[in-house]
Amino acid sequence: MTTMRFFMIGSWTEGMFHFQKLMPFIVSYEPATIQATAYRLPIGFPVITEDKTATIHGQFIELKADSTLLALMDTLHGVKALEPAKGLHYRAQATVMKASGQTDTAEVYFYNPKKLTAKAAVIADGLWKQSLEAQQPLPMQLTEKQKIYVLKLGAVKGRDIVPINDLALYRELMKLELIVDKGRRLALSSLGKDVYNHLV
């Protein structure tokens, strides 16, 4: 294992879901900032791009990382090592300002700007934490009934049909733009597929 340094935001920061998964490998961590631009994706999660428009607060994390852990982190970020331009994120080194006042370099998962849609909103002043406090990401807003149906529909193979007998549920999922009605059968929209991937 080698020690690697990362700058992380969102669920990869202290107290959040992915941070807990990293705990066994963390050597040290502290608050830090980077110059970048923060966006809120339609699904509700924050991402950053390399455009230096704001000071983004996150965490500088030192990890004992082996190739398996690094591959897993890359996969979760949708990195395509052989075709970076096609991935959701790419990993690059950037300068980070640590809370101690020192600068350092770290690996950063930057969102591929080509993957930003018109519905991705710039987070004013890069304040992604406040954005999440004001409105939770979509997967966390769903009712249990909505989650169950999205999971069933996402697991369908081929042209199998997953009936929906609850008209209210149908309307809710259509309003959230999670499903599309293809006449004889329902399917997940692209946003619905994103939600499904976060639920499984």
CA–CA separation, 77 vs 84, rounded Å?
Answer: 12
Q: Find out whether 22 and 12 touch, Cβ atoms under 8 Å.
A: yes
Do 126 and 160 have their domain in common? Answer: no
Do 90 and 178 have their domain in common? Answer: no
Do 61 and 126 have their domain in common? Answer: yes
Query: Considering 85, 103, 135, which residue would you say is the last residue of a domain?
Result: 135
Q: What's the domain count of the chain?
A: 2
Do 158 and 62 have their domain in common? Answer: no
Distance of CA 100 to the CA centre of its chain: 28
157 against 7, higher pLDDT: 7
Q: Find out whether 12 and 68 touch, Cβ atoms under 8 Å.
A: no
Q: Find out whether 171 and 199 touch, Cβ atoms under 8 Å.
A: no
Query: Considering 86, 107, 135, which residue would you say is the last residue of a domain?
Result: 135
Please identify which residue in the block is written with the tokens 């987070």: 123
User: Is 150 in a helix, a strand, or coil?
Assistant: helix
State the pTM of this model: 0.86
Do 15 and 45 have their domain in common? Answer: yes
Q: pLDDT value at position 45?
A: 92
pLDDT tens digits along 8-40: 999 899 988 888 889 999 999 999 999 999 999
Do 150 and 117 have their domain in common? Answer: no
Query: Considering 135, 166, 190, which residue would you say is the last residue of a domain?
Result: 135
Domain residues for the domain of 194 are: 139-199
CA–CA separation, 198 vs 192, rounded Å?
Answer: 10
- Given a cut of 90, is residue 108 above it in pLDDT? yes
CATH value at residue 128:
3.10.490.10
Q: Which residues does residue 6 pair with via DSSP β-bridges, in sequence order? A: 61, 107
CA–CA separation, 6 vs 129, rounded Å?
Answer: 18
